[in-house]
Amino acid sequence: MAELLIQRRDRAGYWEAYPVYVNREQVARIGFGETIRLQLPAGRYQINCGGLFGKEDGIWIELNEHRKALYLNAELLTRKERHWPKYYRLLWQESSPVRLQNQEAQTQLKVEQGNALIRAFGFLALLALSAAWLFWQAQSGADSLLAYLALIPLALIPWVYRGVLITELKKQGV
């Protein structure tokens, strides 16, 4: 049996575990910074992967008795290509098993991801606190305009998180 190694290196859907399909059958789910190993008989295979916010990508590979490796990466879509909720595209890159990232590189990627999420959640907490303060001010002063203004930070919360992820994709330079 041949072994297929798949390593996820994208910076897009941190909490999403993408389903991996081999010949239209789901065989695994791959989380952020993970490596999966598939034992497959020799032959030709179609490998697909996609996510909730990412357009799927497929690749055809010919497996012999050797090991093959694939990277799963992502790139930011242009404004014309974006159709809600998709804002990035997954990409397969074929590589040799020797070139796969070692455990230290995977750990470093997870540390960078953690730092980006800490910054995002810090800003999201500030938005939520500002909305709560505006609601409190509206209730104590009986001012309905402040209550409506408090809805603005609450509406911005999903866009801020998405903006952080888009910034991380741009930083990646794929």
pTM for this predicted structure: 0.70
CATH fold for domain 2-100: Immunoglobulin-like (2.60.40)
CB 152 within 8 Å of CB 138:
no
pLDDT of residue 156 exceeding 60: yes
User: How would you label 4-42 residue by residue, b for 16+ Cβ within 10 Å and e otherwise?
Assistant: bbbbbbbbbbbebebebbbeeeeebebebbbebebebee
Q: How far apart are CA 104 and CA 99, in angstroms?
A: 14
pLDDT of residue 54 exceeding 90: no
Please state the domain extents for the chain: 2-100, 105-172
∠77-83-89 over CA atoms, to 5°? 35
Confidence class of residue 174 from pLDDT cuts 50, 70 and 90?
very low
Percent of the chain predicted with pLDDT > 90: 25
Q: Which residues pair with 39 in a beta bridge?
A: 3
Confidence class of residue 44 from pLDDT cuts 50, 70 and 90?
very high
Q: Identify which of 51, 43, 66 has the alpha carbon closest to the alpha carbon of residue 16.
A: 51
Residue 65: CB partners within 8 Å, gap ≥ 6?
A: 2, 42
Confidence class of residue 95 from pLDDT cuts 50, 70 and 90?
confident
Confidence class of residue 173 from pLDDT cuts 50, 70 and 90?
low
> What is the predicted pLDDT for the residue at 133?
85
